[in-house]
Chains A and B, each alone.
Chain A
C-alpha cells in the first residue's frame, strides 16, 4: 500500500485520530530554560533550595525529602530500563535489595568497612542484572513482566529464608559510615548524602541518554529488528540497560541500608517495585524531569494525605487514576519524534 503514508492508528480509538495535541505547559516552561546559561541557573537554583531546605524546615520534611531523593535515584535507574530501553521490569526492588543486603551483610556480619563494601554491592547488582537480563532477552513485554516479577519475588523469598540475611527480621545494627572523619548519622547528614546521589543519578541519566548507548537503546526500543540491521548488538544493548538499572538500584539500596540501620524483606516487596514503576510512568517514561517529578509525587503524595488516616491510600489511588486519565502518557511525557 501507500508505503510512505503515516501508520494507521489500529489500536487507537477512532475518535482520537486526527487530533493535534497542544504542547504541554511544563514543556513550554522547560523550553524557556533551553539556553545553557538559563538551564544552569535553573539547576543552581534547585540545588540551592535543596541545600537550604533542612535548615528552614522540620525534621519530618528532611526525612521525607530524603525518601523522595532515594526514589529519584531508584526511578532514574528504572527509567533506564523502562524509559530508555523499553523493557518492562516489575521486579526492580530486587536490585535495591541486592545493594542493601550486600552492604548490610558485609558491614554488619563481616565487619567490612562501608566504603570497601560498596564495590562488592555494585558487582553483585551487576551480576543480578545479567542474571535477570539473560533469560528475558527473547521475551516480549508481557512475559518480561512476569519473569521480572518472579525474579523480584525469588530475591525477596531468599532474603527471608536464609540465615545470613537475618530471615524475616532482617539485619539490624548496620553501622553508620564515616567519610574523612565525618560520621554520617543524623537525618540531615543522610539528606545531604541523598542530595549528592540524586544529583549524580541525574547527571548520569543525562549523559547516558546522550551517549551512543543511549541512542542504541532508543533504536532498540523503537524497532528492534531495524536496530539489529543497523549493526546494534541487541543482546548487549538490552543487558547494558538491565545492568545500568541494577547499579542505580543498588546504589539506592546501599545508602538506604545505612540510613535506616536495619533492613528487612518488607522493604523489597512487589509493591515496592510497583511503586517505583508507577512513579516512572506517572511522571513520564524516558523524560528525566518527568521521572523526578513522579518520584516526588509517589513519596510526597501519601505523606501529604496522612491526615486522612485509613483513607489516605484510597484518596491517593483516586488521584493517580485521575492523573492517568487526564495525562495518559504521564505528567511530563517525552517528546515523540
Chain B
C-alpha cells in the first residue's frame, strides 16, 4: 500500500478510535485545557496548566461534580501558533470535552472561538484579553481577564497621582503587551501628558542597555512595562543598574513573585497593576502555597486566573446540573459576582468581566504588597 494511503488510513482509524473513546454519559467529566505548553511561551502555558490541574484535583478530592463524577483534563497545546491552536481546538472538540479552560496568546485564541462555537462548547478564557476577541465570540465564551482598557485607566490614574509628566512605555511586540501599550499611550496623551519614549523589545533579548540609555536620554520620569515578568525583570534590573531613579510600573503580565527572583533588589519599589490576587485573600494564600509545594515554583501571573477559570467552569457545570453545552454557557453567563481568587466574577452582555478592580501593588522585601497612596 502506498505510504500516503497508509498515513491517511492511519489518521482516519486513529481519529475514529478517538471518537469512539469519547465519554460515556457516566464517565468522568472531560475538560480541555487550551494553553501553549511547548514553544517559546511554554513558561506561561505550563503555569496555566498547573494551576488548572491544581483546581481540578481539589474539586475531585471534594467528591467531583454532578454526583461524584471526576474531572479529567486533556491538554490542547497551541504553541501560541494560530494553526496549531485550531488543530488543538478541533481535537478537543472531537474528543467531546464538556468545556474548555485556557486561552493564552490572543492571536492563537481567536480562531479557536469559531471551533468551539460551532461545537457549542463552553470556553472560559483566562489570559488572552485582546479587545479583538469580543466581536469574534459567538457567545459560548466568557473572558475572565480584564481587557486592556481597564488597566490603561488604572495606569493613567496611578501615574497622574505620582505627578508624572513624561512617561516611557515599553512593550514586547506581542498582541497583549502591544495592545496595553497602545491603549496606555492613547490615554496618556489624551490626558495632555507626554509619552517621551514608546519602545519595544524582542522576547528573549537579554540586553536592554541601548533601550535604557534611550529612555534615560528621553527624560522620562517613569517607565511602564506592559509585558511579562521574565523580560520585565531583566529590564528593571538594567534600568536600576544604570541609575534610572524614576518610577517603574509593570502590567499584570508581570505580576509574579518570580519577578523578584530575576530582578533581585532592583524590584524593590517597583509598582504593578493587578487584580487583587494571591496574597490578599485567604483562599489565595492557600493557593499560592499549594502551588509552590506542588510544582516547586511560585505561581505565574495567570495562575490565579487559570485556577479561577477551572473553578468557575466547575461551578457552572454544577449549576447547570448537566454536561449540556447550552446549560453550562447559560450558567456561566449568570455568574453572580461571587468572590474568587482574583476577585468577583460577573459578565457584561459582551461576555467580558463586568468589573474593573485593578489594584496597585508595590514590591517590598522581595514580595508584592498592596500599595495605598
Interface residues of A (CB under 8 A from B): 26, 29, 42, 45-46, 49-50, 53, 56-65, 67, 160, 167-170, 172-173, 186-187, 256, 260-267, 272, 289, 292-293, 296, 300, 302-304, 306, 309-310, 312-313, 332
Contacts and interface: CB of A to CB of B under 8 A. Distances in A.
B87 A67 contact: yes
A64 B90 contact: yes
Contacts of B283: none
B18 to A, nearest CB: 7
A67 to B, nearest CB: 6
Q: How large is the interface on B (under 10, 10 to 19, 20 to 34, 35 or more residues)?
A: 35 or more
Interface of B: 2-5, 7-8, 11-12, 14-16, 18-19, 37-39, 42, 46, 75, 77, 80-84, 86-88, 90-91, 93-95, 105-108, 110-111, 114-115, 118-119, 130, 132, 135-136, 173-175, 177-179, 182
B11 A61 contact: yes
A172 B107 CA distance: 9
A60 B107 contact: no
Contact of A60 (B18, B174, B175): B18
B152 to A, nearest CB: 15
A221 B109 CA distance: 43
B93 A61 contact: no
A59 B82 contact: no
A171 B229 CA distance: 27
A58 B177 CA distance: 37
B14 A304 contact: yes
A266 B80 contact: yes
Contact of B81 (A261, A266, A310): A266
Given A262-B110, A306-B91, A58 B18 contact: yes
Contacts of B94: 58-61
Closest A-B pairs by Cβ, 3 of them: A264-B107, A60-B94, A63-B90
A260 B11 CA distance: 22
A21 B53 CA distance: 52
A61 B12 contact: yes
B8 to A, nearest CB: 6
Given A61-B12, A262-B111, A264-B82, A168 B4 contact: no
B114 A169 contact: no
B83 A53 contact: no
Contacts of B182: 167
A264 B175 contact: yes
A168 B174 contact: yes
10 contacts: A42-B2, A56-B12, A56-B16, A60-B94, A63-B115, A160-B173, A169-B132, A261-B111, A262-B132, A300-B11
Contacts of A292: 4
Contacts of A64: 11, 87, 90-91
Contacts of A296: 4, 7
B77 A267 contact: no
Contacts of A293: 3-4, 7
